[in-house]
Chains A and B, each alone.
Chain A
Amino acid sequence: MSDAFSSAAPDDTMAGDPNEHFQLRLYVAGQTPKSVRAYENLKKICEEHLAGRYTIELIDLLKNPQLAKGDEIVAIPTLVRQLPHPIRKIIGDLSNTDRTLVGLQIKVN
């Protein structure tokens, strides 16, 4: 099943609505190096920029293939920003932090 967990840290280093909560979903397929890397990169970015106001839901499509349809998942790994609207998708291992931030529309000072 999906591993959902949240982390909170009182750190406001970013612009935008500082109280906006980010609901993120990371789709992976098993414990592949790319998936592991993506999760680690995501954790790092979130801790750095969204500390305390994000939720990451990790979905393993090998276990729940039926979930691929909902978010129109084609590539793995795919990060989906459920909230705030609109939905954004970032595919890849999130190794490029800047692009990930652009994708998530997190403005950095």
Chain B
Amino acid sequence: MADTRSDDRQLGSLPKALTGIDGLDEITQGGFPQGRPTLICGSAGCGKTLLSMEFLVHGAMRYDEPGIFFAFEESSEELKENVRSLGFDLDKLEAEGKLLVDHIHVEPSEIEETGEYDLEGLFIRLGYMIDSIGAKRVVLDTLETLFGGLQNEAILRAELRRLFRWLKDKGVTAVITAERGDGTLTRQGLEEYVSDCVILLDHRVVDQTSTRRLRIVKYRGTSHGTNEYPFLIDEDGFSVLPVTSLGLSHKVYNDRVSTGVSRLDTMLSGGIYRGSSVLISGTAGSGKSSLSAHFAKATCERGERCLYMSFEEAPAQIKRNMKSIGLDLQPWEDQGLLKFIATRPTFHGLEMHLTEIHKLVKRFQPTTVIIDPISNFIAAGNVREAQAMLLRLVDFLKAQGITAVFVNLTTGQVDQEATDMGISSLIDTWILLRDIELGGERNRGMYVLKSRGTAHSNQIREFVIDETGIDLLDVYVGPAGVLTGSMRTQQEAREAAEKRARQLEADARKRALDRKRAALEAQILALQAAFDAEEAEAAQVRDEFAEGERILQASRDDMAVNRRMDEDHQR
């Protein structure tokens, strides 16, 4: 239903020219307005030229729309050189007649103005070039250079207004770039003339880490994303990361996968759901990485691929450390099932990290992604940005059906149940590792804080790491509280002794009871015998009495016979 409706809207809305840039077509819902000018503004070095060049190159290569790049700032050679690093061969496209680069050079030092003029020369030049290859897309890369070259601003403004109308009449999809001014979108107020679509690029440096952002300021006649979207420029060119386009409509899985620790699987009634997100949080040294390495092992044992993003340790170090607990990850890496990626969080901005993860996931196709740890992302941005980034990451991995394991380092004992990243609500299964400090010892405890859709155990388990890996033990819960480690062992020994003592006592009591029972039974027997004897006696007395009675009766009858009593009065 929803799909059909959006399709209808697509048809009803104005025609658009796909930019072919990842993410941008998504947030503009189909690209730039076809046959109309689009203004791209932003400060120096924020990627205006590159964005517009990609728009042309994709148009020429993918959508069969030839384009012309009118460069007012850079020479054609410089421009070609610059985009060659992104894999765009403009010379080849020029030879095929799909793309032309024209450098329009306005040198103020050699120009004198006297009297009235217009920019018909520019129009003729653009028109000639457009007609020569039948261009559908045109880029005017920084038109504002004209303001530096020509002095009569009134003429210039009138002519620019005419230019935009002329471009519309020509039916070309035009992209005009402009420098950002103080408090205005463009230094020369070009946004007044281009009213169809205005895109703002921004390049901010916060705490020495730069982040690029894109925002659609205006897009007449169409709905569009209004947020600021981070974007990236890397060896693959321009890509915009839409935040909100990913909905909550990802596929859910019903099968469970192992965590790599069998006792933990039992606690989670059989493991975690495939494609769900797991958060392992805990203080330093509570065994978070070891647990995530078990996840990795379990994934590889199923013959699936696992991507391990490490932001703290070098892969070699992780492997060495895991080997010490009996977990050899090297064979899995050799088989190509496990891939370690280690970078410093501060190496580049959050968006770069996110895109890097996107790309790796698309290339490597893992079923499990481990991010160890996420807490370090704060170092690469601020808390809110890190949150937003993780939100997108969780969404992205869920959409791909990838089981995600996030490791979060918490500090202090107080705040253990609040992640500083504020992503707990996005997480399906939250495993908390905590140190239990008792009797001069620090032991590891673990419990499942939450697990959506799972009847999980509510027990704290002692989390033991030895040379054979992770094991979970029942903790001692008794009158003395929760005991772990040697105190648990001690308590268990004490309890065993107590139990033995109790056993002995019980045995003794049982024996005494047995004796008593025997005595009572003997007594019962004696009484019974006495009773039996008395009863026999009583029976005899009764018999004797009955005999006596009988004899008496008999003698009475005899007497009656003797007195000749009537037969009738006999009774």
Contact = CB atoms under 8 A, between A and B. Distances in A.
Interface of A: 27, 29, 32, 34, 37-38, 41, 61-62, 65-66, 68-69, 72-78, 86-96, 99-100, 102-103
Nearest to A88: B110
Contact of A93 (B105, B107, B111, B114): B114
A75 B114 contact: no
B128 A100 contact: no
A72 B104 contact: yes
B112 A103 contact: yes
B128 A93 contact: no
Interface in B122-138: 122, 124-125, 127-128
B113 interface: yes
Nearest to A60: B124
A10 to B, nearest CB: 28
Given A61-B120, A68-B124, A76-B124, 15 more contacts: A29-B124, A65-B128, A68-B121, A69-B125, A74-B125, A75-B119, A75-B122, A86-B110, A88-B110, A89-B111, A90-B111, A91-B114, A93-B116, A94-B115, A95-B115
A94 B128 CA distance: 27
Nearest to B127: A65
Given A65-B124, A68-B128, A76 B114 contact: no
A76 B112 contact: no
A89 B112 CA distance: 6
Given A68-B128, A95-B115, A75 B150 contact: yes
B207 interface: no
Contacts of A88: 110, 112
7 contacts: A38-B115, A73-B125, A74-B121, A74-B122, A77-B117, A92-B113, A99-B112
A91 B111 contact: yes
Contacts of B106: 72, 74
A103 B119 CA distance: 19
Interface in B237-283: none
B146 interface: yes
| Interface residue SS majority, chain B | mixed
Nearest to A68: B125
A38 B546 CA distance: 171
The 6 closest A-B pairs by CB, nearest first: A103-B112, A95-B115, A65-B128, A92-B115, A93-B115, A73-B121
B114 A74 contact: no
Given A65-B125, A65-B128, A92 B110 contact: no
Which of A75, A95, A99: most chain B Cβ within 10 A? A75
Interface string B493-504: 000000000000
Contacts of B568: none
Contact of A96 (B105, B111, B114, B119): B114
A62 B128 CA distance: 10
B104 A95 contact: no
B149 interface: yes
A78 B120 CA distance: 10
B118 interface: yes
Given A72-B105, A99-B112, A29 B117 contact: no
A68 B149 CA distance: 17
Contacts of B117: 34, 75-78, 91-93
Contact of B102 (A69, A91, A95, A102): A69
